[in-house]
Amino acid sequence: MHGPYCAQCGQETVHEMPTLREFAHQYLHHYVAAEGKLLPTVKLLLLKPGQLTLEYLAGRRRRYVMPLPLYVTFSFLFFLLLGWSGAMTHTHPVYIDNQPVAHPTQALAALAASDSDADEKRILSFASSVMSVFDQPEKVAAFSEHMLHRLPYAVFVLMPVFAAMCALLYRRRRQHYGMHLLFTVHLHAFIFAVFLFCLIPGLGAYAAWSMPAILAYLVVALKRVYGGRWWPQALRAVLLGACYAVISSLALAVVTFVSSGVDWHLS
């Protein structure tokens, strides 16, 4: 090593801890400025469902961002903006008999004390102990931090599950599992792009349209990638969406259970 660069490969010989600014500069220089891959990739992902998967399978890969970096980009931006927005730390009022309850914990405890049924009393007491965690701002902040740390991993683990569901629905086509996984990664990149759009200030009113938009996108993407008639693809899309919603809810419940740190033993 002589000088600031390696004579064989040209790598810099000075090793320093990278900063966020350097990461951003490298990403923008690589995908936006130098090669210009990001904008064509995002345009194709958003406007032509499934076409990005077909382009990759056809071997046209150098002109687009690779699937995993694309997914990581949208998921990272989503969870980053989610943490900044404080959406997971906002509490909402609870209503009992159409009347707002200032302290849900006290209301549940009062209902438990007045209930004569032993089983219902135990359930209400358990709910009151769980809700008591969210009455303390410091515990809410800690819970949200744990959730934000674990949710990206949970979603990443669920992607192979969705790909397996696609492989099961299209098992007669005898396609490689890697194709279903590629389709899944592109689909999840679009899902995070939609969720990211809903987090932008002033656009939250359109959040109700996110699920219909994702379902419509899934139908068109299945038709374009797997072929076949429209109505079977629509049925498959609904089945995939329903099953994945159940699995995602269970995964979210597990993440919530792990993140809460609540003593779940019934007294």
Is the model's pLDDT at 89 over the cut of 50?
no
Looking at the structure, tell me whether residues 129 and 141 fall in a common domain. no
174 occurs within a structural domain: yes
95 DSSP β-pair partners: 100
In the chain, the number of structural domains is: 2
Q: What is the mean pLDDT of residues 119-128?
A: 62
17 occurs within a structural domain: no
Is the model's pLDDT at 217 over the cut of 90?
yes
Instruction: Please give the residue that has the higher pLDDT: either 33 or 226.
Output: 226
pLDDT at residue 243 in the model? 93
Q: What is the mean pLDDT of residues 148-177?
A: 85
Query: Whole-angstrom Cα distance, residue 117 to residue 147?
Result: 35
40 occurs within a structural domain: no
Which contacts (CB < 8 Å, 24+ apart) does range 76-80 have? 77/192, 77/196, 78/192, 78/195, 78/196, 78/199, 79/148, 79/151, 79/152
Looking at the structure, tell me whether residues 102 and 218 fall in a common domain. no
Residue 170, domain extent: 67-88+137-260
pLDDT at residue 181 in the model? 94
Looking at the structure, tell me whether residues 172 and 202 fall in a common domain. yes
- H or E element in which residue 111 lies: helix 104-114
Looking at the structure, tell me whether residues 191 and 76 fall in a common domain. yes
Looking at the structure, tell me whether residues 116 and 205 fall in a common domain. no
Name, in order, each residue with C-beta under 8 angstroms of 213's C-beta and a sequence gap of 6 or more. Answer: 194
Looking at the structure, tell me whether residues 113 and 216 fall in a common domain. no
Looking at the structure, tell me whether residues 98 and 171 fall in a common domain. no
Query: Whole-angstrom Cα distance, residue 267 to residue 265?
Result: 6
Looking at the structure, tell me whether residues 82 and 191 fall in a common domain. yes
| Residues 2-55: tens digit of each pLDDT | 777 887 777 777 666 667 676 766 666 665 554 578 888 999 999 999 999 999
Query: Whole-angstrom Cα distance, residue 254 to residue 199?
Result: 24
Query: Whole-angstrom Cα distance, residue 263 to residue 200?
Result: 36
223 occurs within a structural domain: yes
Instruction: Please give the residue that has the higher pLDDT: either 13 or 176.
Output: 176
Flag the least confident range among 12-16, 164-168, 197-201: 12-16
13 occurs within a structural domain: no
Looking at the structure, tell me whether residues 174 and 195 fall in a common domain. yes
Looking at the structure, tell me whether residues 99 and 225 fall in a common domain. no
Looking at the structure, tell me whether residues 184 and 211 fall in a common domain. yes
5 DSSP β-pair partners: 12
Query: Whole-angstrom Cα distance, residue 253 to residue 42?
Result: 32
Cβ(31)–Cβ(38) under 8 Å?
A: yes
Domain boundary among 102, 133, 164: 133
181 occurs within a structural domain: yes
pLDDT band of residue 193 (cuts 50, 70, 90) is very high
Is the model's pLDDT at 244 over the cut of 70?
yes
Is the model's pLDDT at 209 over the cut of 50?
yes
Is the model's pLDDT at 138 over the cut of 60?
no
Looking at every residue in the chain, the average pLDDT score rounds to 76
Cβ(183)–Cβ(225) under 8 Å?
A: yes
Looking at the structure, tell me whether residues 142 and 160 fall in a common domain. yes
